[in-house]
Amino acid sequence: MKNALMPKPHRIINVEHETNAEYTFRVECGDKVEHGQFYVLSIPKIGEAPISVSSKGEGYLEFTIRKVGRLTEGIFGLNAGDTVFMRGPYGNAFPVNDFMHKDLIVIAGGTGLAAVRSMLEHFYENPREVNSLTLITGFRNPDSVLFREDLEKFRDKFRTIYCLDNTEAEGFKKGFVTEYIKDVPFSTFSDYNAVIVGPPEMINLSVKECLKNGADESRIWVSLERKMSCSVGKCGHCKIGCIYVCREGPVFNYAQAKNLID
């Protein structure tokens, strides 16, 4: 019988320091993964935690991890050639097929950008699959900017608004992402989708701002983060009402998400 909780060892190919608190780990893995899915990463002796896939390629996956807890601190101690244990992929994914040939707006706060990065890369490589792509992403300050190279190249094919909470810098506006949602011309799009990822409060405020600017709630998609101890619908931590974020999520249409009361 299959043991869903047994992780497998994977070799770390490379570690990229995005910021002081966020590293990207490239890990050997040939799994087929959809945009928005996650893995449970673990280090024996320390524990495990759900981490979203931030990029995928031939024979590898990338995870961009923010050092916030015991496990992530442990992972930061790993180097190329070391082993990390993984199980997955878990969760649903962004409904990329529904996004095809429509306008797409992606609003990402901080490390939330990691969860949409592989989808952004896909549309960067296949720009004809969307009518237009608007990326609004914000960071705390210049030192906390993620994926700098990607952000630069995205400017060529996407409509981009990059911002920093309290500072102005070259290529970055000052302020929160929510302040720039009014610049999205929702009313001119014939058919569109908006994807919002980031900290819970940022998601709430961004959704509000989108609705205020005329966006339809059923065209808004959010990715929810919850505590998980198993990711296979057993441990109960991520349950909200009658749904389990690990199985039916983490991506939800806002028309459904708005009714979820933790």
Partner 1 sequence: MEDMILTLMEKYRVYAPKRYPDRSVRYGEVNTPSEIAADEKSHFSPKEVYLPIVQTIFCFKNGRCEEREIKDDRDILIFARACDINAIERLDTIYLKNGGVEDFYYKRLRNKVNFILIECSESFESCFCVSMGANKTDNFIGILRDGKIDTESEPVFVSENKMSVTIPDIDESIEKDIFELKYWRSFDNSCVGCGCCTAVCPTCSCFDTIDVTYNETSLDGERRRVWGSCMREDFSAMAGGHNVRNRAGDRMRFKVMHKIYDFYRRFGETHMCVGCGRCGERCSKDISFPDIINTLSGKAEQLKAEGGANQ
Which of 105, 115, 145, 230 binds partner 1 (CB under 8 A)? It is 230
- The reply on whether position 242 binds partner 1 by CB under 8 A is yes
For residue 212, give both structure tokens.
């205020």
Start-to-end Cα distance in the chain: 34
Tell me how far, at minimum, the Cβ of 34 lies from partner 1, in Å: 17
Q: How many residues does the chain have?
A: 262
- The reply on whether position 66 binds partner 1 by CB under 8 A is yes
- The reply on whether position 69 binds partner 1 by CB under 8 A is yes
- The reply on whether position 72 binds partner 1 by CB under 8 A is yes
> With CB under 8 A, what is the number of residues at the site for partner 1?
46
Residues ≥6 apart with Cβ < 8 Å to 98: 193
Nearer to partner 1, 69 or 127 (CB): 69
Restricting to residues 5-24, which ones interact with partner 1 according to CB under 8 A? 5-7, 9
Whether a cis peptide bond, with omega within 30° of 0, leads into 250 is yes
Restricting to residues 146-165, which ones interact with partner 1 according to CB under 8 A? none
Nearer to partner 1, 173 or 237 (CB): 237
Tell me how far, at minimum, the Cβ of 70 lies from partner 1, in Å: 7
CA atoms of 180 and 184, how far apart (whole Å): 8
Nearer to partner 1, 113 or 151 (CB): 113
Restricting to residues 76-105, which ones interact with partner 1 according to CB under 8 A? 83, 85
Whether a cis peptide bond, with omega within 30° of 0, leads into 89 is yes
Site string for partner 1, 164-203 (x = CB under 8 A): -----------------------------------xx---
Stretch that binds partner 1, among 62-70, 121-129, 154-162, 186-194 (CB under 8 A): 62-70
Helices 113-125 and 148-157, interaxial angle, to 10°?
A: 40
CA atoms of 164 and 154, how far apart (whole Å): 17
The helix (H) or strand (E) run that includes residue 26 is: strand 22-28
CA atoms of 232 and 37, how far apart (whole Å): 13
Contact at 8 Å (CB) between 217 and 255? yes
Tell me how far, at minimum, the Cβ of 65 lies from partner 1, in Å: 11
For residue 112, give both structure tokens.
């939330």
- The reply on whether position 2 binds partner 1 by CB under 8 A is yes
Nearer to partner 1, 157 or 258 (CB): 258
CA atoms of 211 and 226, how far apart (whole Å): 24
Eight-class DSSP state of 181: G
Residues forming the site for partner 1 (CB under 8 A)? 1-7, 9, 42, 44-49, 66, 68-72, 83, 85, 199-200, 225-227, 229-230, 232-237, 239, 241-244, 246-247, 259, 261-262
